[in-house]
Amino acid sequence: MDLNLTKSEQQFRDDFRAWLKDNLPEEPIKPAGENDAGYWKHLRAWQNKLFQGGWAGVSWPKEFGGRGATPIEAALYLQELAACDAPESIGTIGEGLVGPTIMAQGSEEQKLFFLPRILNGADIWCQGFSEPNSGSDVASLSTRAVRDGDDFIVNGQKTWTSFANVADWCLLLVRTDTQAPKHKGISALLVDMKSEGVTVRPLRQLSGDSAFNEMFFTNVRVPASNLIGQLNNGWRITITALMNERANLGSGFYIQFKKTLDQLIRLMKEEKSNGKRLADDPINRQKIAQIYLELEIFKLTTNRALSKIAHNATPGPEGSILKIYWSEMNQRFVQAAMEILGDQSQLKDFDEGAWAYRYLRSRGNTIEAGTSEIQRNIVAQRVLGLPRSY
């Protein structure tokens, strides 16, 4: 594994860094409330600005409007965005999951219509995978689609769906053959979220926000032309989508975690307990050292995974190792931070409530994008070659 950047990678990073310097919004883009339509309008405009500058979908092939960036360059791209606190990306699902799926499995008509709209910010996407009784066991889904002439009629429910409250389209998994084994008989549909019969309800989390939603489909008509891939072959699409999701999760996280650690250290130098700086407590210093070491391990593990992907463009089950590591590491991180900062860290008035929010939000890390239990099964079976347990 060579951790040094090549000349082309350095040039890619420097070019994007220079573009960001000239094009970042002068003021941070923050929502005024959960239903702030202006916030999402600004994010669409930012996505379109990236597109106009040639910085949208950087890892996509050039033939589909991307830059054909290598996995290392794509990671540098995410790191630079994180380093300068760029606005939230509305292309998380569209660029990272749906677009690659359409490129691999979609028809020419689907590619021509959907891919440009993902890149330019015209469409925001969500993914309809998890259900109330199937969670990370996606293959046990029960949402059904029945063919009726030129349409499919969809009935069912999805949950834990990011962006559903603002999404224009959904990559929806449905059961189209109830007699087939659970990993078969699944199909994937591209569903217009404005269709009659689609209902979205926000899910309130411990942290107080509603980043996830539940979706209800009641006799929703979806044109048969919106079937992606072959009928009853949706499990293949599911695996492709999930591998892309898990491979993309860690690339920008190191920078975010590192900035949070730096913020914690600054507070430790400013805040006191019993007349002494928090930074002077040897137990606190030991906790910071542990966080720092785990964060560096995360960076090296991410680089190793990127190095492997660079020689094999298809993401593999190794992405599950990263998912387990960063999600559990972040929970340990914020737990230690709360212990170091003391009772004041639980207050909304302390540091604008950032630490209380981080602590509560971190509880979902080991559930979203596949639970730790599911990820460990994947690592055991597909990385270590261990037999299934029954």
Active site residue ranges: 245
How far, in Å, CA of 166 to CA of 173, rounded? Answer: 19
In the 8-state DSSP scheme, what is residue 174? E
Please tell me the distance from the alpha carbon of residue 224 to that of residue 16, in angstroms, as a whole number.
41
Question: Residue 335: beta bridge partners?
Answer: none
Alpha carbon 116 to its chain's center: 20
Beta strands at 169-175 and 125-128: parallel, antiparallel or unpaired: parallel
Task: Determine the Cα–Cα distance for residues 42 and 52; give it in Å rounded to an integer.
Answer: 15
Identity at 151, one-letter amino acid code: D
Question: Which of 144, 150, 154 minimizes the C-alpha distance to 177?
Answer: 144
Asked if residues 185 and 222 have their Cβ atoms less than 8 Å apart, the reply is no
Residue 177: what are its φ and ψ, rounded to 5°?
A: -140, 100
CB 118 within 8 A of CB 91: yes
Q: Is 334 helix (H, G, I), strand (E, B) or coil?
A: helix
Extract long-range pairs of 147-153: CB within 8 Å, 24+ residues apart: 147/176, 147/224, 148/221, 150/223, 150/224, 150/225, 151/221, 151/222, 151/223, 151/224, 152/176, 152/189, 152/221, 152/222, 152/223, 152/224, 152/227, 153/219, 153/220, 153/221, 153/222
Dihedral angle of Cα 296, 301, 302, 303, to the nearest 10 degrees: 90
Identify the residue whose tokens are 């409250």: 165
Closest CA to 171 of 200, 207, 129: 129
